[in-house]
Amino acid sequence: MNKRGKYTTLNLEEKMKVLSRIEAGRSLKSVMDEFGISKSTFYDIKKNKKLILDFVLKQDMPLVGAEKRKRTTGAKYGDVDDAVYMWYQQKRSAGVPVRGVELQAAAERFAQCFGRTDFKASTGWLFRFRNRHAIGNRKVCGEQVLSSASENVEPFRQKLSTIIKEEKLRLAQLYSGDETDLFWKSMPENTQASRKDICLPGKKINKARLSALLCANADGTHKLKSIIIGKSKLPKSVKEDTSTLPVIYKSSKDVWFTRELFSEWFFQNFVPEVRHFQINVLRFHEEDVRALLLLDNSPAHPSPESLTSEDGRIKCMFFPRNTSTLIQPMNQGVILSCKRLYRWKQLEESLVIFEESEDEQDKGEKGVSKIKIYNVKSAIFNWAKSWDEVKQITIANAWENLLCKKEPEYDLQGLEDGDYREILEKCGELETKLDDDRMWLNGDEEKGCPPETKGEITKEVVQKGGGAEKQTEFKLSAVRESLDYLLDFVDATPEFKRFHFTLKEMQMEIAKKQFQSRTHSRIGSFLKPRPHNIKDFFNGPSTSGSSN
């Protein structure tokens, strides 16, 4: 029982309970004692009964999210919000799935109709709209639409709270991990490269996919090395051992996590990294090391019982089914931030700054050529850098919904849709539209589903080494010519002169390699036996009976 006299703010779920007690004929004093509210709060709730009921009942899932909302105040632009939600309901009732980018486009159309010239359907607006109407970032897997019931969320919170108290866990010992798709080579529609790519045979640049896992603790002080799942055991662009990469690289023919891969990561990477962090960074004694890892209830994860360290101090706990969009911390802006940072780096590395005199045909060919050079190795390094740059506060804020029932704050400064529009325009990509950019930015925002049937695997016969990237052949003479050109540029440009010695050293190494190559070729030609003498080397002693 809460104490009266202390100011108490009830969330919508609790206000609904107060109204139900009033309907049941409970006395004023008993309701005030049960909820710890004042007399004025009691009468305010009673007076606003219609407003509260109308607000809760018009939600996509009436009770989902009610336990974390405390006010019935709507959006800043209520007319736009109501119109978008009405449109969304019409689409849903017709069985049409609605993506985030479509909600943003609808919002901007309605804002224009209402004359809201200062309205901006930003990524932050989209998150707030989804939270207001309890619209999960759900993805259709086959025929099943993932949804969530609020009654599963609160018991999980209580169970988690009990475990934290019993195990005496600190925030730094509470972890969350989640998987996501990454279309690592994807570019916005209607760029010079994408228009040219449609006309070219072979694998399309927008379809190349990797899977990634991100994992961090609740205060954001420990970000574990990301896992990347690719199709090739050793991508040709990597060349060296994958242990030199800034991520943990694994292969899977479906480019998705399996129970074996996840179990291997848990015992070989997660457990040792957590121990090292707590002993060497937090300075805990060995007996104080413990951790709880929160995961989705996914077919790719082994049972929680099997994901336990030998001493039983590092364990796993699954979220209730279909609740990850509501309370999984990684889905509260962490994965989104990492992907936005990745897209920025990808654009910087993949886009071509064209000269005004170049025609459309040349622009398209150069654009595709530049993007084709962007390989798995580049993607992996950019993903690792992006994960490093995700702010500690972003991760900490993402846990507030689960631990404190607070709506998380999304800090996407510099990573909004319009920011990417600017860099595209600077590179001469004037044909793309904002909707194209949003489709590209949010195309893999939802966690993918593992392949459902073997029928989804292509029937194409995989040749030996299939699935690997084609090895690019470099001519040393062309490389040296490019280096000569670069050196001329560096010598003529003061701000780049610091690179002179690096390029010069590389030029000398290339020249040495060219000399060695020519020398070996000449020696090989000199020592090569004439064709009519080759068989003499393989002739054994005569068997003709000759004594000579």
Residues 189-204, mean pLDDT to the nearest whole number: 47
Which residues are bridge partners to 140 per DSSP?
145
pLDDT of residue 298: 85
**What's the rounded mean pLDDT across residues 320-334?**
86
- 480: CB partners within 8 A, 6+ apart: 507, 510, 511, 514
pLDDT, position 24: 83
Exposed/middle/buried for residue 124 (C-beta within 10 Å: 0-12, 13-18, 19+): middle
**How far, in Å, CA of 426 to CA of 271, rounded?**
46
pLDDT at 500 (0 to 100): 78
| Look-up of token digits 């279909």 | 322
Q: Average pLDDT in the 197-203 region?
A: 45
40-56: per-residue pLDDT in tens? 888 888 888 877 776 66
Model confidence band, residue 98 (pLDDT cutoffs 50, 70, 90): confident
Q: What is the mean pLDDT of residues 91-120?
A: 81
The CA–CA distances, whole Å, from 422 to 190, 203, 309, 445 equal 15, 29, 49, 21
pTM, rounded to two decimals: 0.59
The pLDDT, as a whole number, for residue 463 is 36
Which range has the top average pLDDT, 95-99, 128-132, 135-139?
A: 128-132
Instruction: List the structure tokens of 71.
Output: 């006010």
- The count of other CB atoms within 10 Å of the CB of residue 259 is 14
Least confident range from 108-112, 113-117, 141-145: namely 141-145
* 176: pLDDT strictly greater than 50: yes
- N- to C-terminal Cα separation, the chain: 116
Range with lowest mean pLDDT among 7-11, 238-242, 264-268 = 7-11
Tell me the residue type at 454. Answer: K
Core vs surface per residue 463-476: b (16+ CB within 10 A) or e:
eeeeebbeeeeeee
Q: Which residue has the higher pLDDT, 368 or 102?
A: 102
From residue 459, alpha-carbon distances to 230, 454, 455, 462, 473 in Å are 19, 10, 8, 9, 29
The pLDDT tens digits for 329-376 are 998 889 989 998 998 888 877 765 544 445 555 555 555 566 667 888
**Greater confidence, 206 or 534?**
206
* More confident position, 380 or 20: 380
Structure tokens given for 80: 């736009």
Greatest Cα pair distance, the chain, in angstroms, is 128
**Positive/negative CA dihedral, 218, 219, 223, 224:** negative
**Residue 389: which pLDDT band, with cuts at 50, 70 and 90?**
very high
Q: Are 191 and 354 in contact (CB under 8 A)?
A: no
CA 243 to chain centre: 22
The answer to whether the beta carbons of residues 88 and 103 sit under 8 Å apart is yes
- One-letter amino acid for residue 79 of the chain: D
Quote the mean pLDDT of the chain: 74
Give the SS3 label for residue 11: coil
Cα dihedral angle (7, 10, 14, 17), rounded to 10 degrees? Answer: 60
Helix segments in 493-541, DSSP class H = 500-527
Distance CA 416, CA 438 (A): 10
Helix (H, G, I), strand (E, B) or coil at 215: strand
134 or 26, greater pLDDT: 26
Confidence bin at 435 (pLDDT 50/70/90): low
Residues near 381 by beta carbon (within 8 Å), at least 6 away in sequence: 245, 246
The yes-or-no verdict on residue 460 having pLDDT over 60 is no
Residue 192 has pLDDT above 50, yes or no: no
Q: CB of 173 within 8 A of CB of 291?
A: yes
Share of the chain above pLDDT 90, in %: 26
pLDDT given for residue 291 in this prediction: 97
Q: How far apart are CA 507 and CA 482, in angstroms?
A: 10
Structure-token pair, residue 384: 């690792």
Confidence band for 186, pLDDT divided at 50, 70 and 90: confident
